[in-house]
Structure 1
């Protein structure tokens, strides 16, 4: 994975004059196509004043998990903890919401605007133990860049 090349492409997407929704979709599509073990890439955002996340743009198989209560699953836990969550093997997590039998691992990174956790990027992989510090650094960078225009 060439992080600098991926960052350049992300910056190009974000500087485009398309809508916010189109930018988020382009990021999902690009990451899914560029990184072989990113089998599902999506954004969840806080659903108004409710204590839940709502699915926004994504690339990959459709999911029935369009609303996730705070505290439930990996995404819901990140909404509460405000911290990155890397799960190298989902079978080792008691509080995991299965998005399909193919999913073996997941990484979720929060997006902060003015110090508030307003959403997150969620990556599912069909591979056990694929994520490294480079993935975490890349996704943190993307979340910081996205926060600028949200």
Structure 2
């Protein structure tokens, strides 16, 4: 039985270290990438406060397709380069957006989302997925959040 529960008072670097360790433990030796994404989406939902969506979009046939997530139903397909997720996939760079309504071409899957953090998962130089975190709070994410999710994405690159 797994019982991964963060302390609500943890500083962000420690919270993300514990999230990383929990994700590493759950995905270690499991070859099914979808199962690993599902568990990691659940962990992000549990560990990262102030979210209304946490999950993955997978690169499929040159576009992004919805992967495992926690939260409300979401857009199923996102064209490469469109919205925050598509921008992360096209650039291979983290997108930290304080106000999604000010982001050119933002795709509103959930009208409650106000800020977003999207981190590409890169394997052998190619974006294979993105990790997407949405929040109903403006400017919810900062550099510490980006660094924590980037470390998680790097670890997951060979596990999804």
State the TM-score, normalizing by the size of structure 1. 0.91
* 1:56 corresponding residue in structure 2: 67
Q: Give 1:65-104 correspondences, 5 Å limit.
A: 65-104=75-114
Provide the C-alpha distance between the structure 2 equivalents of 1:10 and 1:107, rounded to a whole number of angstroms.
19
* 2:51 corresponding residue in structure 1: 38
Aligned residues: 147
Provide the C-alpha distance between the structure 1 equivalents of 2:82 and 2:30, rounded to a whole number of angstroms.
36
Among candidates 135, 150, 154, match of residue 125 of structure 1: 135
Among candidates 94, 117, 126, match of residue 116 of structure 1: 126
RMSD: 1.5
Task: Quickly say closer, same or farther: Cα 1:46–1:61, change in 2 above 3 A.
Answer: same
* 1:6 corresponding residue in structure 2: 19
How far off is 1:92 after superposition? 1.1
Asked if the contact 1:31/1:38 (under 8 Å) is kept, the reply is no
Which residues of structure 2 form unaligned runs of 5+? Answer: 1-11
Which residues of structure 1 form unaligned runs of 5+? Answer: none
Q: What secondary structure sits across from 1:46 in the alignment?
A: strand
* 1:106 corresponding residue in structure 2: 116
How far off is 1:16 after superposition? 5.6
Q: What secondary structure sits across from 2:157 in the alignment?
A: helix
Provide the C-alpha distance between the structure 2 equivalents of 1:4 and 1:51, rounded to a whole number of angstroms.
32
Task: Quickly say closer, same or farther: Cα 1:115–1:18, change in 2 above 3 A.
Answer: closer
